[in-house]
Structure 1
Amino acid sequence: MTEPAPASPSAFDQLSRWLGVGTSVIAPVTLLTTLLFYFGYVSSRAEYRYFGLDVDTIGLSTNDFVMRSPQVLLVPLLGVSLTAIALLLVHVRLRRHPPSPATVGRGMSLALVLIAAGLVLVLGHAWFGRWSLYALVTPLLIGVGTAILAYAFWMPSAPAWLRRSHDDRARWVRPGVTALALVVVATSMFWATATLAEWSGRGIALQTARHLDELPAVILDSSERLYLTDGIVEETALPGGAFPFRYRGLRLLIQGETHMFLVPDRWSPSNSTLAVATDGSVRVQFRFENQQP
């Protein structure tokens, strides 16, 4: 008697399998793209705010923000990777040589102090919010304290009331607390990384302002007088034509979707950013670098 041939998978089963695979790939990619966009946006917002611009008025695309994020995330990624290596080595050491219950108790006490200090800063934002390191120290205190506390929960030498017993009716408490602790740690890392991204954007702006002469040089011909008062940009009259006013000493800061944003080629307290429409109402020339090939 021959055995029946195995039934071939239905089209629905195959579709479900492919959807499962696609979801497992697309979801992480979407999350990564969202994070890259966010950190690129935070950095760009801080960078162009220094020059008096709201980044939303420039018209950068999602891809532009994503492409700007690797430079912002370089330091946080290096820091997280090195910290993870150190923590893994510490974990191996502690598993081989568990600390005493007294040491675990002191570690938990330290964790509670760190969390309490972070909560004091959060609740006292009205008083501590102007501290320059507030946005970095606060999430680090909460995140580090929570991580230490969650790790101590699972130590073999943890306090007796935390150890699992066979007749324990609330076995889900410790895993639940650990899951919530991971959420707190992830949120703290996100907050700290966003702060570093903002600082990075500000640093890029300061670096650019110190070397404005390295930006692309622009000669601007306009049909109307611009009345620039910074004392750096030079105005000359052109005989006749549709553009009787020429301006030298300008540099291209960034080009958006509908405007170019120009700045003087030297920093001054009276500097301002000039928004020039790219609709043909002005004539723009980009100068070669003054270096013979």
Structure 2
Amino acid sequence: MAEENMPAENAAPGRLERLVESGKAIIPPLTLLSALLFYFGYVSARAQYQYFGVDVDTIGLGTQDYVMRSPQPLLTPLLVFAAAGAGAVAAHAAVRRRIHAPASVRTVVRLRRLGRAGQVAGLAGLAGGLLLLLGYVFLRDWPLYGLVTPLLIGAGATLARSGAALRRLLRPPPGPATPLRRTATALLYLVVAVSAFWMTATVAQWSGRGLAMYEASRLDERPSVILDTKESLFLRSPGIQETKLPASEGQTFHYRYRHLRLLIHGKDRMFLVADKWSASNSTIIVPLDDSVRVQFQFQNQQP
């Protein structure tokens, strides 16, 4: 019974492979990979510097900078997806071995119950995720919304598809797949892909904010900066020391600021913060031109 159904089930991977090949012809894999790395690196960097009140677009980071920042936020999702994929492959192989081996009626009944349970659980999870999606206006401030919603939708769709496929394997050959079934399968794959993308973007955002909080707790490890300006900046951040320089002939800089740390260096400007984080701090944007004088102060052990 199971062996007669093999050709119909093996047709699906062939269609999927043709779909992937068509996608490769339209979007080269390297271009797609670069775009994904850029996007997740951008999401992480945006959340990181938003913590310090800075719009990442004002820094002037390039495409390479965002791509280089993407491995850290992508590490956890990649490990989770790899582990889930390996578990799914192992479970699929185990189920196929049970189907192809001489099986008793009790084993077939158990497999059918397993498929039915997976399908019901998947549809329940998918329904729960869609309800959360419809309630976005009321639940958008929930911290876990961006992770729980796509997780329910993606996991629910996967379980529903797996349960339905297992139940079809245990039936007599149903004949060739209908266009409606092929369309439903393609839409299901699309839902899973979008859910995985959404979850990864949420993790990237959390990673960026976590990195910002880590840096804020260790600002004393950032480069120390002494800033001289021609006019007073009227800084209000606690801890920043302003000193008026003594007047002298030819002196164009009249004010000196200490207890500053370099947050990040942009294309033509620096972003400075106080050396101790406070909720009332502000980030200072300093242009790299003759309007300021910058010194980097070091405190190391003697050689």
Under TM normalisation by the shorter chain, which class is it? 0.7 to 0.9
Contact 2:44 2:209 in 1 (8 A): yes
Equivalent position SS for 2:28: helix
**Cα distance per residue 1:78-133 (max 9 Å; x no partner):** 11111211111111111122552222112111111000000000001122221111
Partner of 1:119: 130
> Separation in 2 of the partners of 1:177 and 1:151?
13
Task: Give percent identity, aligned residues only.
Answer: 50
Equivalent position SS for 1:155: helix
Q: Does 1:245 align with 2:246?
A: no
Q: Does 1:165 align with 2:166?
A: no
Contact 1:152 1:158 in 2 (8 A): no
Amino acid at match of 1:124: G
- What displacement does 1:157 show? 4.9
Partner of 2:98: 97
Q: Does 1:204 align with 2:211?
A: yes
Partner of 2:88: 87
Partner of 2:152: 141
Choose 83-92 or 257-266, whichever is displaced more: 83-92
Contact 2:112 2:166 in 1 (8 A): no
Q: Does 1:285 align with 2:286?
A: no
- What displacement does 1:171 show? 2.4
Equivalent position SS for 1:226: coil
Partner of 2:278: 268
- Unmatched runs of 5 consecutive residues or more in structure 2: 1-20, 100-109
> Separation in 2 of the partners of 1:291 and 1:91?
60
**Cα distance per residue 1:178-219 (max 9 Å; x no partner):** 221111101000000000000000000000000011111101
> Separation in 1 of the partners of 2:132 and 2:170?
29
In angstroms, what is the RMSD of aligned CA positions? 2.0
> Separation in 2 of the partners of 1:96 and 1:83?
20
Choose 112-121 or 176-185, whichever is displaced more: 176-185
Contact 1:263 1:272 in 2 (8 A): yes
TM-score, with normalisation over the residues of structure 1? 0.86
Among 138, 154, 164, the residue aligned to 2:165: 154
Partner of 1:195: 202
Partner of 1:47: 48
Contact 2:115 2:162 in 1 (8 A): no
> Separation in 1 of the partners of 2:285 and 2:75?
31
Partner of 2:10: none
What pairs up with 1:30-41 in 2 under 5 angstroms? 30-41=31-42
> Separation in 1 of the partners of 2:126 and 2:241?
57
> Separation in 2 of the partners of 1:200 and 1:279?
34
Partner of 1:57: 58
> Separation in 2 of the partners of 1:266 and 1:290?
20
Q: Does 1:258 align with 2:268?
A: yes
Equivalent position SS for 1:150: helix
TM-score, with normalisation over the residues of structure 2? 0.83
Partner of 1:10: none
